[in-house]
Amino acid sequence: MLEWVERLAKYCADQDGVPLIAGRVLGWLMICDPPEQSAQQIATAIGASRASLSTNLRLLSSVGFVRVLTKPASRTVFYRVDDDAWEKVVQRQIASLAAVGKILHDGTPLAGSSPNHGGRIAAANEVFRWMQQIFDNAPPLPSTARAAKESQG
């Protein structure tokens, strides 16, 4: 349970520069029962300070990772992972690659066009064109597909 949470958290921290605690929150919210929890509950579960939870929950909300819920007769706020949280991650990463692709594309004229000169950047552009093409031809994302299905039948 908590080992798995730690595994995901560590991954987030090491690879994506996400604060460790934010990663733990995320991990916890992926598997906790019930899926929506108060800041206090999460703090207790993962062993972090209440203040830290505030910071990290704000972070996770701002990037659309967790959704904030309020229950009718309660004044505490509950948090849960957004259903399309990971879809956003993937989209973000793809967008990120596209952004680098654009920068490199913009740099092409700077590298000149002599034989062994433009080679570097030409190769780079090729890769990003390849990627773009893949995503252009890709089937719709699961959530999109699901939405289409429901509206249709």
Q: What does the binding site for a second copy look like in residue numbers (CB under 8 A)? A: 1, 4, 7-8, 11, 15, 17, 27, 29-31, 33-35, 80-81, 83-87, 89-90, 93, 96-97, 99-100, 103-104, 106-107, 110-112, 116-117, 119-121, 123-124, 126-131, 133-135, 138-139, 141-143
Q: Which residues of 36-68 are buried (b: 16+ CB within 10 A; e: fewer)?
A: bbbbebbbebbebeeebbeebbebbeeeebbbe
CA-nearest of 4, 39, 37 to 23 is 4
Q: How far is the CB of 66 from DNA (least distance, A)?
A: 12
The site for DNA (CB under 7 A) is made up of: 17, 19-22, 38-40, 47-58, 73, 75-77
